[in-house]
Chain A
Amino acid sequence: MKYHLLRILVATCVALFSGIVSANDSVKSAMSNSGNWAIWGGDYAGTRYSELDQINATNVKDLQVAWTFSTGVLRGHEGGPLVIDGTMYVHTPFPNKVFSVNIEDQTINWVYEPKQDPDTIPVMCCDTVSRGVAYADGKVFLQQADTNLVALDAKTGKKIWSVKNGDPKKGSTNTNAPIVIKDKVFTGISGGEFGVRGFLAAYNINDGSLAWKCFSTGPDDEMCVDPQNTTDRGTPIGPDSSLKTWEGDQWKIGGGTTWGWYTYDEETNLVFYGTGNPSTWNPVVRPGDNKWSMTIFARDADTGMAKWVYQMTPHDEWDYDGVNEMILADIEVGGAMRKTLVHFDRNGFAYTLDRVTGELLVAEKYDPAVNWASHVDMETGRPVVVAKYSTDQNGEDVNTENVCPAALGTKDQQPAAFSPKTNLFYVPTNHVCMDYEPFQVEYVAGQPYVGATLSMFPAGRVTGDGTDHLGNFIAWDAAKGEIKWSVPEKFSVWSGALATAGDIVFYGTLDGHLKAVDADTGEQLYSFKTPSGIIGNVNTYTQNGKQYITVLSGVGGWAGIGMAAGLEGDTDGLGAVGAYKQLGKYTQLGGVLSVFALPN
């Protein structure tokens, strides 16, 4: 019923906008200019790769700060600025300001500062971050924390329209960056810790009207799946694929939120994203696979209809949200060129799939410490869970110890990069394990719904290799499923990577360093200490033909907690942990954009 309504809506919208130049063209043309950084991932495929090579492995050591810009906001700064034809759009965490900056003289063209209910803040688990804006057709799209999606006039900063995408009173908020495909802007929802039911929504860019909304869980029509034509690794999913995997109505408060990054493949017209954890964190009370939480979705960008799905962590027992970015790359796997989707999941496995069919090609651990599953069964696509790390099998009120990775995952939202020159993926990772004890909680709308106690510590304490670092920056071969090289980092690496044709890769560290490493070896070539810890993404652009590198510093986010994992000397009698110092000794809060260039 609902679905038919949606279809009519979609049809109406298509009719309304056909004949108008699609926004896709404006995004595409902005992206095709390598001097721009027009979308969060640099391109629709989310490769975070730039053809720019002025700054390269030989001269990057000479990199200098060209200019800096304070955002005036203290909270954690995730994401990165867009640069389109001489204008930079800088976003901030709550209150979600947007600055339009003239990169020629660094004057501010306009500032947009929404008035948002501060009551939104307490329902945002893990800091009030925002991962950035989208640009298309002379509009800047901002997904505010209070769930309002707004379209701003890129010239003036004036609000053109605004639409409410959820209800913060019920725990719905937004942190994600929207993306624009054709005449629609796509967004999701946060709030898995509040039992919010996840969805992907497409709004018409001209007036903000809803084109469609497709849920992660529930009845087939509300999920926009077709029992016969939506497949799971080639097999039709059949009717009621989600309902069958939950007890009763649990799916209604079952999470599967969609707060990560979205990518798009023009050839297949598919939009890709992942869904988050099933609520609550206590797995014992929600028997079943809890579909389609923890799932990669491939949806038709026009209708929302799912072409294929793949659930990575059926019946999650560890909070391994599946929301991390889906990078689209064409690589040779097993001797044949494949159109792949590569995904570094929180659960510690890196997945290579055929993005056209959803066929699973490779699934391997990208941190050797990962222990909750021995491997992924390539026949069934399911992880083979190691009993002693199963928080469900151990049961309520039992502390499951030394599970790797910790709930924040081997990688969280911080996006990886792919270089077609080296055919390698460059991945910022966490090297953290946990103890996890599920217990009974009561659900109350708008209240957090965390049904487990958690403690985290360096992975070295589990592997027993004598190390105590909390992160690694790795190069990954997605065809073989192997780590090419791995650079240890004192703290979790929580910054989005950038790979360039200059044979270098950039990333930031929680203690505030922007680093450049050799794309082939991982050897450090450059390091500069920015004003605060970096959880933002490194981007690049050109101005008058000269290449610049940008990054937001401003420590915070879930990293602001995750990094503190095991840093206290007294968590147990083991001396190694005592070697840690609080991140506060290295860096303080405060959002600053730093822009780097080679000397003239």
Chain B
Amino acid sequence: MSVKKNIIVRGLTGSLCLFFSFITLPVASADENAATAYKDHIQCVEGEACKIDLYLTRGYRAFSQCQVCHGLDANGSSFAPSLNDKLKEIDKELFVERVSYGFTGQVGVMPPWIENPNVMKYIDNLYDYLKARSDGAIPGGKLKRYDR
């Protein structure tokens, strides 16, 4: 199916007709910047929720250890800050340090995760997942996989 046809179909039936928009739009192919490494793991189709691969899914799973404090969508809770905000402020190096060793700050106590394989094995995945969330590249919650 051609892109042109797709546009025509959409024009005719409106955005409800998603069956025809199977063409994926690679969000980033050239960008090699580490901060946006997540782009290689996301595929978005117009009018549909973006899909992610196993790599980012592992990041999301690691994030499940953080949800009880930082909120289900990483938007923060009454006792821990929004990670969507935090990842705009800190770089990957500081992120890994904070997550590994924890710290006590103005808000409260962030626990250390260095001994937790469920987080540390996937720390790159976790960073990329949260960075993608923070940049607004993917929505919160469970996302479908495109690689299976």
Contact = CB atoms under 8 A, between A and B. Distances in A.
Given A118-B104, A561-B67, A123 B111 contact: yes
Contacts, number: 105
Interface string B53-80: 0000000110111011101110101110
A446 B77 CA distance: 23
Interface residues of A, number: 45
Interface string A118-134: 11011101111000000
Contacts of B71: 561, 564
A122 B108 CA distance: 9
B65 A75 contact: no
A454 B67 contact: yes
A75 B69 CA distance: 12
Interface stretch (A84-92, A260-268, A359-367, A566-574): A566-574
B79 A572 contact: no
Contacts of A446: 115
Contacts of B113: 447
Interface string B109-121: 1111101111000
A169 B107 CA distance: 22
Interface in B75-126: 75, 77-79, 102, 104, 108-113, 115-118
A572 to B, nearest CB: 6
Contacts of B11: none
Contacts of B116: 444, 447-448
A453 B61 contact: yes
A435 B73 contact: no
Contacts of B61: 439, 453
A399 B78 contact: no
Nearest to B110: A122
A169 to B, nearest CB: 11
B14 interface: no
B139 interface: yes
A76 B142 contact: no
Interface in B131-148: 136, 139-142, 144
Contacts of A399: 142, 144
- Dominant SS among interface residues on chain A: loop
B71 to A, nearest CB: 5
A530 B71 CA distance: 24
Given A435-B141, A450-B65, A456-B72, A564 B77 contact: yes
A450 B142 contact: no
Nearest to B141: A455
Given A123-B111, A571-B139, A572-B49, A454 B72 contact: yes
Interface string B17-52: 000000000000000000000000000000111000
Contacts of A572: 49, 139, 141
Contact of B140 (A75, A439, A568, A582): A568
Contact of A455 (B104, B109, B140): B140
Closest 3 CB pairs of A and B: A122-B111, A560-B78, A455-B141
Given A126-B68, A561-B78, A573-B47, 19 more contacts: A119-B109, A121-B108, A122-B102, A122-B111, A127-B78, A128-B79, A442-B118, A447-B115, A447-B118, A450-B65, A453-B63, A453-B64, A454-B67, A455-B140, A561-B67, A561-B77, A568-B73, A571-B141, A582-B75
7 contacts: A444-B116, A447-B113, A454-B72, A455-B141, A570-B136, A571-B141, A573-B48
